[in-house]
Amino acid sequence: MKNLMLKKPILMAALTLMGLSLVTSCGQKGASASGALGSDAAAASYVPPGEFDEFYAFISGGFSGQLSVYGLPSGRLFKVIPVFSLDAEKGYGFNEETKPLLNTSFGFVPWDDAHHPELSQTDGETDGRWCFINGNNTPRIARIDLTTFETAEIIEIPNSGGNHSSPFTTENTEYVVAGTRFGVPFPQKDVAIDSYAKEFKGALTYISVDKESGNMDVAFQVLLPAFNYDLAHSGKGKSHGWTFFTSYNTELKNTLLEVNASQHDKDFIAAVNWKKAEEYIKQGKFKEMPARYADNEYDESTHMAKSTMKDKVKVLIPEECPGLVYFLPTPKSPHGVDVDPTGEYIVGNGKLSADMSVHSFDKVLKAIENKAFETTIEGVPVLKYEEILAGVVQKPGLGPLHTEFDGKGNAYTTFFISSEVVKWKLGTWEIVDRAPCYYSVGHLMIPGGDSKKPDGKYLVAMNKITKDRYLPTGPELTQSAQLYDISGEKMKLILDFPTIGEPHYAQGIAASKIIERSKKIYPIEENKHPYAALGEKQAKVVREGNTVHVYMTMIRSHFAPDNIEGVKVGDKVYFHVTNLEQDWDTPHGFSVMGARNAELLIMPGQTETLFWEPDRVGVFPFYCTDFCSALHQEMQGYVRVSPANSTVPLTWKLGDKAPVQ
């Protein structure tokens, strides 16, 4: 979202023309509001040592590619879950088991730009089962299992460029969606970029989610004009069965977008009737198109991920599927599209618009029934703006991006340029409060704030710029989140905390929905890893040509075996290490000198594999990296490497109880 700043000069000019004065975020200083938090504010976010937070917050890392987990109201950081980016700390993407998760049709892609976490829902309420998050650059969606807080699946989105309007779920997590941000040739081919308006398309993809396992699959794609599909939300309650995607660049331009994509005073929200799509799929009214995309799943019993390449996709074309998609005109280059808890109001956050338009779902249905169409674009009827409008929030602020709800009839919208959160009333559209953000707020989050049942107690604003708020850290300064108490009439700022990466979006959930389901260990008897050693007696070293498999175990405070000889220069050595512990919070680490990847960090009952290619003779230590007991420092061993032509026999041992060889 930093690119929005580029729009500032244009926006400033436009607003000056409109006679509006502009309070830029850069002009403000924290001063009074920042330093002067009273002690009651401090108490409001204080969670005494040893006590739990009331909520979990899942905050995206943006260009860090990861998802971080905080407690609210304390703002304490609990975990950074590796998703799209390598994480040497956990061996994620370095160990053999997780590498397949990062496989794509482009090969191994060890980074992505992760924007929008989305919790699974049942009947429109967060259920604490999974958290999904989009990968923007190499179009992907990941599913994180909230019993383990680990990435369980990553699926690539075919025929897309920049998976931004994603992964927003439907009411019962029937689907998560993936709208392409960039128009791309469909299917990809070698064409002139200037043929954009003719050759390029914008695909909206529906990914089905298995009710039990959570397994994702590309169900179908809807082929639309090559607008830039920015954000989305599905309907709920009365609007269940629909998804709304914002778009910009309805001008269909391919160069200098900051000017060329800001021409129309209205862009569109694409309203997709996915229940209708299901009917069309059932009737066989789709085109099967070639595609190439990876679906990567982690299997908890083998502790291993597997990557499967898939090669086709069902595509629905609006011209052949009447009633499937409608365009709702919405001023102007809308970013977020947010559906209130009743499912009636569809809020378009027109970031270049002076006012905010709210559509009525009832009126949308009526306009469809009455065929109140302005025109039709590539088979998609454009509804008449006046016919679907529920109301307008007038001059709420500058640069609206995203709205959430408190379940008490109020909406809260972030304004990037005027750097504030504005509270307004659904139905009357009047502004009831505003609170400054430090600075340049992007998105906001109320736990459950995009569900049917918001917990309207706290609001987190995610800020792009912090400037003078924290100690300087060289040229790059931290981004931050700010916590507001929204239980009363007025919003109260109660806490500031720095974030990991650049937070773009977040989700929150009552801790009680997650705590009970949280896994403590992996039962060792359920470990089906093909190279597991399920007890020290099973520890062994096996040579197959120049590949050496080490079946190793770890338990406080030794490895079995801890002395290995007979490895040769040029061997390909796989350390398959099983953690035999069966107590909560007893991981062990494994690292070996000369390894060119990372450590392993192995949970109780789990097996992980480190690949090691010794390139010189010598005796190399390995050790445990996680302080696991008073004798952690003794948890170590040696592997001897002999010349390639050596005749040193392959042996291994642990103390006097050398395993049988």
The residues that touch ligand K7E, with contacts defined as CB under 6 A, are: 1, 115-116, 164, 231, 335, 401, 442-443, 504-505
Whether omega for the bond prior to residue 332 falls within 30 degrees of 0, making it cis, is yes
Residue 660 is given by DSSP the state P
**323 is written with which tokens?**
């009633």
Does 144 engage in binding with ligand CUA (CB under 6 A)?
no
Burial environment of residue 218 by CB neighbours within 10 A (0 to 12, 13 to 18, 19 or more): buried
Residue 264 as a binder of ligand CUA (CB under 6 A): the answer is no
Q: How far apart are CA 586 and CA 595, in angstroms?
A: 24
User: Closest approach of Cβ 165 to ligand K7E, in Å?
Assistant: 9
Measured from the CB atom, the residue of 383 and 441 that comes closer to ligand K7E is 441
Q: Is 636 in the site for ligand CUA (CB under 6 A)?
A: no
Task: Please give the Cα distance from 96 to 105 (Å, whole number).
Answer: 19
Whole-angstrom distance, CA of residue 33 vs CA of residue 316: 52
Q: Which does 271 bind (CB under 5 to 8 A by kind): ligand K7E, ligand CUA, none?
A: none
Query: How many other CB atoms are there within 10 angstroms of residue 358's CB atom?
Result: 25
494 binds, among ligand CUA, ligand K7E, none (CB under 5 to 8 A by kind): none
Instruction: In angstroms, give the least distance from the CB of 162 to ligand K7E.
Output: 10
Residue 202: burial class (beta carbons within 10 Å; 0-12, 13-18, 19+): buried
| CA distance to 153, 531, 579, 587, 604, per residue, from 553 (Å) | 27, 11, 6, 12, 11
Does position 532 interact with ligand CUA (CB under 6 A)? The reply is no
E strand or H helix at 16: helix 8-17
**Shortest spacing between CB 516 and ligand CUA, in angstroms:** 29
CA-nearest of 579, 343, 482, 417 to 20 is 417
CB 205 within 8 A of CB 157: yes
Q: How far apart are CA 235 and CA 233, in angstroms?
A: 7
Query: Is residue 627 at the binding interface for ligand CUA, with CB under 6 A as the rule?
Result: yes
Kindly indicate which of the ranges 60-68, 383-391, 442-450, 621-629 contains the residues binding ligand CUA, using the contact rule CB under 6 A: 621-629
Smallest gap, in angstroms, from Cβ of residue 158 to ligand CUA?
43
Closest approach of Cβ 478 to ligand CUA, in Å?
31
513 vs 588, beta carbon nearer ligand CUA = 588
CA neighbor of 420 nearest in space, from 395, 393, 439, 445: 439
Q: Which is nearer to ligand K7E, 142 or 231 (CB)?
A: 231
- The reply on whether position 632 binds ligand CUA by CB under 6 A is yes
Q: Which of these segments, 190-198, 225-233, 543-551, 626-634, binds ligand CUA (CB under 6 A)? A: 626-634
What does 442 interact with, of ligand CUA, ligand K7E, none (CB < 5 to 8 A by kind)?
A: ligand K7E
Measured distance CA(70)–CA(511) in Å, rounded: 11
Q: Are 513 and 127 in contact (CB under 8 A)?
A: yes
Considering the complex, state which of residue 360 and residue 629 has its C-beta at the smaller distance from ligand CUA: 629
Give the one entry of ligand K7E, ligand CUA, none that residue 505 binds, where binding means its C-beta sits below a cut-off of 5 to 8 angstroms depending on kind: ligand K7E
Nearer residue to ligand K7E within complex by CB, 95 or 165:
165
Q: What count of other Cβ atoms lies within 10 Å of the Cβ of residue 568?
A: 21
Q: How far is the CB of 414 from ligand K7E (least distance, A)?
A: 8
CA atoms of 337 and 231, how far apart (whole Å): 6
Binds 335: which of ligand CUA, ligand K7E, none (CB < 5-8 Å by kind): ligand K7E
Q: Which does 116 bind (CB under 5 to 8 A by kind): ligand K7E, ligand CUA, none?
A: ligand K7E
Cβ of residue 438: shortest distance to ligand K7E, in angstroms? 16
Q: Which of residues 574-613 bind ligand CUA (CB under 6 A)?
A: 588
Q: Compare residues 133 and 554 and give the one whose CB is closer to ligand K7E.
A: 133
Rounded to a whole number of angstroms, the minimum distance from the CB of residue 624 to ligand CUA is 3
164 binds, among ligand K7E, ligand CUA, none (CB under 5 to 8 A by kind): ligand K7E
Instruction: Tell me whether residue 337 or residue 346 sits nearer to ligand K7E (CB atom).
Output: 337
Residue with tokens 């704030």: 449
232 is a contact residue toward ligand CUA (CB under 6 A): no
Contact 482, 463 (CB under 8 A): yes
Tokens describing residue 379: 């088979």
CA distance 653 to 287: 61
Q: What does the block give as tokens for 575?
A: 């350390």
459 or 577: CB nearest ligand CUA: 577
Cβ-based nearer residue to ligand K7E, 71 or 162: 162
> 654 near 562, Cβ under 8 Å?
yes
Radius of gyration of the chain from its Cα atoms, rounded to whole angstroms: 27
| Nearer to ligand K7E (CB atom), residue 3 or residue 39 | 3
Residue 624 binds ligand CUA, judged by CB under 6 A = yes
Catalog residues that contact ligand CUA under the rule CB under 6 A.
588, 624, 626-628, 632, 635
